[in-house]
Structure 1
Amino acid sequence: MSKIDESRDSIPVRIAVLTVSDTRTAGKDRSGDTLVERLEAAGHSLAARAILPDERDLIAGKLREWIASHEVDVVISTGGTGLTGRDVTVEAHRDVYEKEIDAFGTVFTMISYEKIGTSAVQSRATGGVAGGTYLFALPGSPSACRDAWDQILAKQLDYRHRPCNFVEIMPRLDEHQRRK
């Protein structure tokens, strides 16, 4: 089973938080605040933060900007993962993914199912990799952000987590782009 290996030093990562909403403002972004509080409590740093409306091109553009930045290792977005016509965050993420982390959405659904039952099928949480950067799209509720962070991301973004974690393979995410 998974565990924290206390013999390893923690390696902090730089995380950007993107809130996707047509109505939220910086003062009313409880989901973004939840993610920032948790990532900082875990010893990581907030690399950037933004709020954008539910517009696919704007979201994909911001993701590409952060992927190109050497100051961002991980992007976590919140909002726009539902089924309505304005929910386009998943499509924007997939526009930039090089590889999708299929099991991220599956594990998130399993965790959600324990709390909200079959309503979990209405979320399209997703994860992927592009340009050596991890990208995760979470639902817009603070509860969903807590669940994703506490049950998945806190562990996978902790270098000490065993048997494996996202941080230890981070240097190899873009190895296919390097010259030989």
Structure 2
Amino acid sequence: MSRIDESLEFIPVRIAVLTVSDTRKIEEDRSGQVLVDRLETAGHVLAAREIIRDERDQIAEQLRSWSKDPEIDVIISTGGTGLTGRDVTVEAHRDVYEKEIDAFGTIFTIISMEKIGTSAIQSRATGGVANGTYLFALPGSPGACKDAWDGILAKQLDFRHRPCNFVEIFPRLDEHKRRK
């Protein structure tokens, strides 16, 4: 069963938060702030924070840039995961991924179903890896960000989480790029 092994030392992770919105400013960014508050409360480090418009190429470029930054371990975006014409965050993420974490969206949907029922079908939350960095795209509502953090990311970004977690495999994410 899933648990935190208190005998292990917590390892802070450096996390960038990207809000995708055509209208929000940083002081109005409730979803981004939910993520910042939760990651800092957990003991992680806010490595960067930006708001960017719903433009696929701009989102992908920001994800690529941050994924290559050695001071950033994880990128969490919020917004643009729905079904409307301007919702292009998922496509931008997939433009950048080297590997997709298929079960992330599935587990997010299961968690969302408990809160919002079949409306969870409208979310396209996704996760993946690029350049040795984890990337996660969450819906733009504060509730969805809370659900994703509390239900998935808080555990998977905690080195002490057992039986396994994302942090313990950081060193192996880009092993295919190393010379032998």
| Superposition TM-score tier, normalisation by shorter sequence | over 0.9
1:171 match: secondary structure:
helix
Q: CA deviation at 1:28?
A: 0.2
Mapped to 2, the partners of 1:133 and 1:47 lie a distance apart of 13
Partner letter of residue 163 of structure 1? Answer: P
Question: TM-score, length-normalised on structure 1?
Answer: 1.00
Counterparts of 1:83-98 in structure 2, within 5 Å, are 83-98=83-98
Mapped to 2, the partners of 1:27 and 1:46 lie a distance apart of 16
Partner letter of residue 86 of structure 1? Answer: R
1:31 match: secondary structure:
helix
Q: Which residue of 1 aligns with 2:26?
A: 26
Q: Which residue of 2 aligns with 1:45?
A: 45
Deviations 1:80-109 (A, max 9, x none): 000000000000000000000000000000
1:110 match: secondary structure:
helix
Mapped to 2, the partners of 1:65 and 1:84 lie a distance apart of 26
Mapped to 2, the partners of 1:114 and 1:31 lie a distance apart of 20
Q: CA deviation at 1:56?
A: 0.2
Q: Which residue of 1 aligns with 2:103?
A: 103
2:134 match: secondary structure:
strand
Deviations 1:112-156 (A, max 9, x none): 001110000000000000000000000000000000000100000
Q: CA deviation at 1:4?
A: 0.2
Q: Which residue of 1 aligns with 2:124?
A: 124
Q: Which residue of 2 aligns with 1:179?
A: 179
Partner letter of residue 24 of structure 1? Answer: R
For structure 2, which runs of at least 5 residues remain unmatched after alignment? Answer: none
Counterparts of 1:140-155 in structure 2, within 5 Å, are 140-155=140-155
Mapped to 2, the partners of 1:64 and 1:115 lie a distance apart of 33
Runs of 4+ displaced beyond 2 Å: none
Count of residue pairs the alignment pairs up: 180
Question: TM-score, length-normalised on structure 2?
Answer: 1.00
Partner letter of residue 148 of structure 2? Answer: A
For structure 1, which runs of at least 5 residues remain unmatched after alignment? Answer: none
Mapped to 2, the partners of 1:74 and 1:169 lie a distance apart of 13
Q: Which residue of 2 aligns with 1:11?
A: 11
Counterparts of 1:32-71 in structure 2, within 5 Å, are 32-71=32-71
Mapped to 1, the partners of 2:67 and 2:104 lie a distance apart of 19
Q: CA deviation at 1:47?
A: 0.3
